[in-house]
Structure 1
Amino acid sequence: MPPLIRASALRPVLQSTLQLQLRQLATRRASRSAPTPPPAAPPKPPRSLTGAYLTLAVFFAGSAIAFAYKMQEDEKMLAPYSYTQHRVGANTLLTPQHALLRVPLTPDEERLFDNLPNLVTVHHVMLGAPQIQIERPYTPINDGRLGDLELVVKRVPGGEVGRLAHSLKPGAEVAMRGPLQTFNLDQSQYDTVVMISTGTAVAPFLQLLSKAHPANTNFRLLHALPNPGKEDWATRFLEPLQAKWGDQLHVQRIPPGAVAKSDVQAALKDAGRVLVLVCLPPTLMQPLCGYLTPTLQQGPLTGLLRDIGLRPDQVKKLE
């Protein structure tokens, strides 16, 4: 039988164990009742950094406004491959079928009509009727570098762009794109330039004579008279050009219809180094020099001009 342990011997051990348990219990209660400290507030940025952010925001906002304004201006400027709206300065009826449309240009737009170096550059523009998605080419009769474009627009049955152009009042807007190059002329390469035209097809020659400067080249224009009973609007524009060029410009009015061989031969007499520019409707161009191709390339030289001995490099057909 194991020896008995007296209670008096266990008393100190029990007291020590009880005190330890009481201290642990008090510690757990204290930790549960203590409040959770609030999270630390994020540090405030220095005042100078906040000011920098504000300055940058103002800068970028101002830049965006300036960029948008510049975009608006660019959208209004004449461009070769996109239509922009342009104010009509004047619209004058030359005949019941012909209107003279004047469109002012900005200084930046005037520079688009500059000549290429050592060349005289003739340009044309496209007028559009946006509602029906139709456009037509028109060649200014003047030098666009002088502040405006002058377009002679003929109204024909079924011609929607012509109808629209005739209806425009001063201050109205017209859809236009350009300029596009029609042709370039190096005056130093030719002693004589012969020009053959009828009706509004004289426009590129009026522009050429407006932009070129008298030098050593002579110009000879064969321009058809209008049909009987029709008004001759071209005379008013030819007279000031005759005054500019004097003896270096010879204008001969020829009968309407097919161009006569005798008139061409007279224009080529003593011509020296010659270039013949032809701007006629297809029915008149074909017997004189042959058609342009469907893609507006020159095509072969045929007809009267070939028969009298001209070479392809001496003839240029214009649409």
Structure 2
Amino acid sequence: MHFKYARFARKVVFTSVGHQFQRIISQKKDSLSRDKTVKTFMRLNGGKIIAAVTIGGSTLAVLINLYTNFTQYDIISPDKFIPLTINKITPVNHNTSIFRLKFPKPLKENLPITSCFHIKDDSIQIVREYTPISPTDERNYIEFLIKIYNDGYLSRYIHSLKEGNIVEVRGPILTFPYTPNMKTHIGMICGGTGITPMYQLIKHILCNPDDKTKIYMIYANVTKQDILLLRELDQLSQGHPDQLKIFYTLDQPPNNELWTQGVGYVSQNAIKNLIPGPQEDVLILVCGPEGGDKARDLSQGPVGGILKNLGYKQHQVFKF
């Protein structure tokens, strides 16, 4: 039988936990009959998209290995906001709390590394990005470390909520596709709540005995009380002293105790002395201004700031 190629844009429509979602499947070339009536349909099977092409009464079933985030996780979607219930609120310090959001049922898959979620306030239509700090293999809930800012409309809104209230969440959204041992050394530079994507990745690396990546992190804050996840980070570094090294720097070091680490902003000397230099087996992750801003279209953009001065190239730096 003689075939020709034709392009079709596919739309998949399905329902899950009372919500209907649509995803547009990119154009695919199918082998179709030149002179026969063609009918097509698609359905989902275990997270995979099954395409069936009917050619003049006979059916050619084609398994297309396309995976969507939504079909993997079943009850959350990177394309649509889903209401989740605040199950638990745990204060961390004077302006930061951990918010646990409960899933109606366990997820089908682990969350990707590294990934974030969007949270919104419907009343003012503001959306912000937050990285979960809960284990990525936890399928019953997600936890977000959220700091309240005086000029942060969404953070103030979230902190006004109580246990049992609903939060609109969209995700997971892959931010940095990590694979074990992709680099020999990973440097991390962050401040404040910028610790969340770093913490997610650190835990993921250290829980995998086959991942030998060495991590060097500089974490900047105003005071010692502002160091988020301090106990957890210290436990990780003490449990993996040869694989994780953390250096804290404070704008206002404590007066009533000996402070042996950094004072002030992240400096060029600190990066030069504490993080491996610009080599091909080194990757620097930044959640802060030290590597320069992203481009206007939110792409990575050129390396700037201190990292540029130290000679790091664009492919050696990733900005969250």
TM-score for the superposition, normalised by structure 1: 0.67
Q: What's the counterpart of residue 221 of structure 1?
A: 217
Q: Give 5+ residue unaligned stretches, structure 2.
A: 1-13, 22-73, 252-263
Q: How many residues align?
A: 238
Q: Which of 191, 194, 201 does residue 198 from structure 1 map onto? A: 191
SS at match of 2:134: coil
Amino acid at match of 1:267: L
Q: Contact (CA 8 Å) 1:192, 1:271: kept in 2 or not?
A: no
Structure 1 residues 102 and 71: CA distance shift in structure 2, 3 A: closer
| Shift, 1:295, TM fit | 1.5
1:236 matched to 2:231: yes
Q: Contact (CA 8 Å) 1:86, 1:175: kept in 2 or not?
A: yes
Q: What's the counterpart of residue 125 of structure 1?
A: 117
Structure 1 residues 187 and 144: CA distance shift in structure 2, 3 A: closer
Structure 1 residues 106 and 274: CA distance shift in structure 2, 3 A: farther
Q: What is the distance in 2 between the residues matched to 1:99 and 1:262? A: 33
1:103 matched to 2:88: no
Amino acid at match of 1:170: E
Structure 1 residues 74 and 102: CA distance shift in structure 2, 3 A: farther
Higher relative contact order (CA 8 A, sep 6+): 1
Amino acid at match of 1:216: K
TM-score for the superposition, normalised by structure 2: 0.67
The percentage of aligned residue pairs carrying the same residue is: 25
Amino acid at match of 2:79: Y
Structure 1 residues 306 and 70: CA distance shift in structure 2, 3 A: closer
Q: What's the counterpart of residue 319 of structure 2?
A: 317
Q: Contact (CA 8 Å) 1:91, 1:168: kept in 2 or not?
A: no
SS at match of 2:177: strand
- The structure with the greater share of residues assigned to strand is 2
SS at match of 2:273: helix
| Shift, 1:271, TM fit | 8.4
Q: What's the counterpart of residue 155 of structure 1?
A: 148
Amino acid at match of 2:102: P
Q: What is the distance in 1 between the residues matched to 2:225 and 2:178? A: 33
Q: What's the counterpart of residue 30 of structure 2?
A: none
Question: Which residues of 2 match residues 1-319 of structure 1 at below 5 A?
Answer: 72=18, 77-105=75-103, 108-109=106-107, 111=109, 113=111, 115=112, 121-146=113-138, 147-212=140-205, 213-214=208-209, 215-224=211-220, 226-228=221-223, 230-256=225-251, 258-269=265-276, 273-280=281-288, 285=289, 288-318=290-320
Q: Give 5+ residue unaligned stretches, structure 1.
A: 1-67, 116-120
Moved more, 78-87 or 155-164: 155-164
| Shift, 1:90, TM fit | 0.6
| Shift, 1:245, TM fit | 3.2
Q: Contact (CA 8 Å) 1:110, 1:145: kept in 2 or not?
A: no
- The structure with the greater share of residues assigned to helix is 1
Q: What is the distance in 2 between the residues matched to 1:292 and 1:254? A: 24
Amino acid at match of 1:111: E
Q: What is the distance in 2 between the residues matched to 1:110 and 1:227? A: 40
